[in-house]
Amino acid sequence: MKLYEKTLETKSVFEGKVIHVKHDTVELENGEKAKREIVEHPGGVCIAALDEEQKLLFVRQFRYPYREIVLELPAGKLEKGQTPLENGKRELLEETGAVGREYITLGKLYPSPGYCGEIIHLYFCKTDHYEKQRLDEDEFVSVEKIPLNKAVEMVLNNEIPDAKTQVAVLKTAALVRKMNGQ
């Protein structure tokens, strides 16, 4: 098995501010043709910031596609000209006012590889100090701190439906256990 698809044709369907949609025709490894619908996204970053009391910084914000308030770790879309880590530091400060230290990568996440090319970079840090939030003018969030153990329980009890937050919380808990020699 080659496990590869060759792109034969690409048609742009939609060019938006954040996403682009295209229809591709591909050749499968058996020589047959198939159609693929692709959402191109610049990628994102998510930060699990832990304070000295072992609490994670979260934000609650209204997420229009779901028509509900969602509890998430600070996150945002990647901006050109900055590394994922630089983007993460910016998002943490913008959304929570926190400045982190000792950043550690938690890897990357493919949120929906069947149709979307987005890659979300996950990081852990410890909070260093706080400054003023720097929210975008169309961004409204409330910040809250949740003990790491409680956040893990919330993930396991399906109280946090956001995928990037689930993964980052669980990886952070595993990392903290490892750092503490457990």
Do 118 and 36 fall within a single domain?
A: no
Do 111 and 34 fall within a single domain?
A: no
Do 138 and 165 fall within a single domain?
A: yes
- Rg (alpha carbons) of the chain, rounded to whole number: 19
CA distances from 115 to 2, 84, 179 (A): 20, 22, 37
d(CA 137, CA 109): 28
Query: Which structure tokens are listed for 21?
Result: 């949609």
Q: Print the domain residue range for 30.
A: 6-40
Do 139 and 116 fall within a single domain?
A: yes
Do 22 and 60 fall within a single domain?
A: no
CATH number at residue 90: 3.90.79.10
Do 66 and 147 fall within a single domain?
A: yes
**pTM (2 decimals)?**
0.93
**What is the helix, strand, coil percentage profile of the chain, to 5?**
20, 45, 35
Do 23 and 62 fall within a single domain?
A: no
- Residue 10 · residue 86 · CB < 8 Å: no
Give mean pLDDT, residues 6-25. Answer: 96
80 found inside a domain = yes
pLDDT tens digits for range 22-67:
999 999 999 999 999 999 999 999 999 999 999 999 999 999 999 9
Q: Give start and end residues of each alpha helix (H) in the chain.
A: 84-96, 148-156, 163-179
Q: In the predicted model, is pLDDT for residue 1 greater than 70?
A: no
Domain count within the chain: 2
pLDDT tens digits for range 86-120:
999 999 999 999 999 999 999 999 999 999 999 99
Question: Which residues are catalytic, by number?
Answer: 137
1 found inside a domain = no
d(CA 74, CA 97): 11
pLDDT tens digits for range 131-174:
988 887 888 889 999 999 999 999 999 999 999 999 999 999 99
Strands (E) located in 88-165: 98-109, 120-130, 142-147
What SS3 state is found at 151? helix
Do 129 and 90 fall within a single domain?
A: yes
| C-alpha torsion angle, residues 130, 71, 81, 122 (rounded to 10) | 90
d(CA 73, CA 7): 36
Q: Taking the chain, what is the end-to-end CA distance rounded to the nearest angstrom?
A: 42
11 found inside a domain = yes
Do 17 and 81 fall within a single domain?
A: no
152 found inside a domain = yes
